[in-house]
Amino acid sequence: MRVLIAPDCFGGTLTAREAADAIATGWREAKPDDAVTERPLADGGPGFVDVLHAALGGDIRYISVTGPLGKPVEARFLSLHTNGRRVAYIESAEACGLHLVPVDLRQEACETATTRGVGELIAAAADENDVITIGLGGSGTTDGGAGMLAALAEGGVALTDISLVAASDVENPLLGPHGAARTFGPQKGASPEAVERLEAKLAAMDVLKPVSDISGAGAAGGLGAALLSLGATMTSGAGLVRELTGLDAALDDADVVVTGEGSFDWQSLRGKLITAVASGAAERGIPCVAIAGQVSVGRREMGAAGVQEAYSVSDHVGSVQKSIADARKSLIATARHVAGQWSR
């Protein structure tokens, strides 16, 4: 049996490559005669640069930038030549990711965390590239891209001859009940009162008003809106990775596909990576199953998205704490179980 392993990262526990390796290891232990192919994926959030570098090659550039708390952090961008163009890929979470904000500081930092480092990454990439694609996701900021815009302006960065692309699968607008502050602010430590202050700040940013209602403007705490204000085009992060990593060719050669992420929830069904993989599998009439740290999607909803079955790692090993304590071991054990269910 030909098995394609194509997961996203598992929150703060495993990268997409580590998750793919763990799932493949468990599957091979249970079904050693199966042909298992690993294809780690990302949707613009954490792992975006690693996944594209593994698939496309190119050069990784390292740069010290301003982190979300104002302290230096090391970040990277991928630079490569393709079809006569010089293209850079930036993972915004490397400069402003939630993982860079300690849990005990998130409530305090949620209103001041900055995207300045993203602007510094763009400025560095602009020196040698014609197209810059910025992956959005996993941010710890809700500054509407103010820090990014300030860094670009202060650096005198000219983007007139550069094509900007924002890669995200978030469809939220900038403002309102489904906007950046009210939807994602609480996940970044914002209290109800802080959420309303963040909403007011975003609404007061004149540069963002013309693009505030565009789908995806609320991505990465409004960073999507800031990029749109600079003339960026918005594209699906999962769709872009699907295209660039050759996922469709891998699906053509599979009998079953296994995808996954840290939490399979309602957000997973809104065009994120799992649904991109599942739709590709459905187009070919092959089953798609998901393994996630936690599963909170009903059978009917996952079926509508093209996922035949979803398996919770925390349920399989007994608790969330156990699943996190040794994430690799827990994922391997769950994958062994899934292989027993799905391999012929």
In whole angstroms, give the CA distance from residue 227 to residue 64. Answer: 21
> What mean pLDDT value characterizes the chain?
94
| Final residue of a structural domain among 238, 272, 289 | 238
Find, among 8, 106, 38, 50, the residue nearest to 246 by Cα.
38
Same domain, 61 and 142: yes
Place 271 in a pLDDT band, splitting at 50, 70 and 90.
Answer: low
Out of 196, 223, 238, a domain closes at 238
Cα separation, 3 vs 8, in Å, equals 16
Distance of alpha carbon 87 from alpha carbon 41, whole angstroms: 19
Q: What are the pLDDT digits (tens) for 200-251? A: 999 999 999 999 999 999 999 999 999 999 999 999 998 899 899 999 999 9
Please tell me the total count of domains within the chain.
2
What is the C-alpha separation between 204 and 199, in angstroms, rounded?
Answer: 9
**Domain match, 154 and 274 both:** no
H or E stretch covering 155: none
Q: Are 297 and 269 in contact (CB under 8 A)?
A: yes
pLDDT in tens, 293-333: 999 888 888 888 899 999 999 999 999 898 988 999 999 99
Domain shared by 117 and 190, yes or no: yes
- What range defines the domain where residue 212 resides? 48-238
67: tokens are: 């982190």
Look up the pTM and report it: 0.90
CA distance 61 to 34: 38
DSSP states of 51-107: HHHHHH--EEEEEEEE-TTSSEEEEEEEEEEETTEEEEEEETHHHHBGGGS-GGGHH
> Which of 337, 344, 265 minimizes the C-alpha distance to 307?
265
